[in-house]
Amino acid sequence: MVTLTELAASKVQEIIAERAGGRQLALRVYVQSGGCSGLSYGLGLDEVRDDDAVYEMHGVTVVVDPESAPYLEGSLIDYKEALRGGGFAITNPNAVRTCGCGSSFRTAEHAGAAEPC
């Protein structure tokens, strides 16, 4: 399961309100090959697909595709405020190595294909 904090859910709701145009959108969390540690996180708004794992948290639907689910199991998505803007941050218990920016990682079983930063 992927968990979304209340603050992150609030930010997602703001984004959906701005961009949904009446469509029912969910927060899609996924993993793809790339980044300096080999795997990288992705977040986007999308519609629910038949094979997605679907979670409801704090008024937000979160979806994860079957290929990404094992890499994201137990992850926490939060929103961090900062002086130069804020952003979503993922804490992933499966990551054995992460990059400095926090958007790239590797697991004990899968290193992915690392790319230069």
pLDDT of residue 105: 66
Q: Per the domain annotation, does 40 fall within a domain? A: yes
pTM: 0.83
User: 101 CB contacts (<8 Å, ≥6 apart)?
Assistant: 117
- Report pLDDT digits (tens) over 60-116: 999 999 999 999 999 999 999 877 778 999 998 988 776 665 566 656 665 555 555
User: Whole domain around residue 27: which residue ranges?
Assistant: 3-107
Q: Per the domain annotation, does 113 fall within a domain? A: no
- 41-50: long-range contacts, CB 8 A cutoff, minimum separation 24: 41/90, 41/103, 41/104, 41/105, 43/77, 43/88, 45/15, 45/16, 45/19, 45/20, 47/23, 48/24
Q: Per the domain annotation, does 66 fall within a domain? A: yes
Number of domains within the chain: 1
Q: Per the domain annotation, does 115 fall within a domain? A: no
**100: DSSP letter:** T
Q: Per the domain annotation, does 117 fall within a domain? A: no
87 alpha carbon, distance to own chain's centre: 11
Q: Per the domain annotation, does 116 fall within a domain? A: no
Q: Per the domain annotation, does 112 fall within a domain? A: no
Q: Which CATH number goes with the domain that contains 43?
A: 2.60.300.12
102 alpha carbon, distance to own chain's centre: 12
The tokens describing 51, both together, are 């094979």
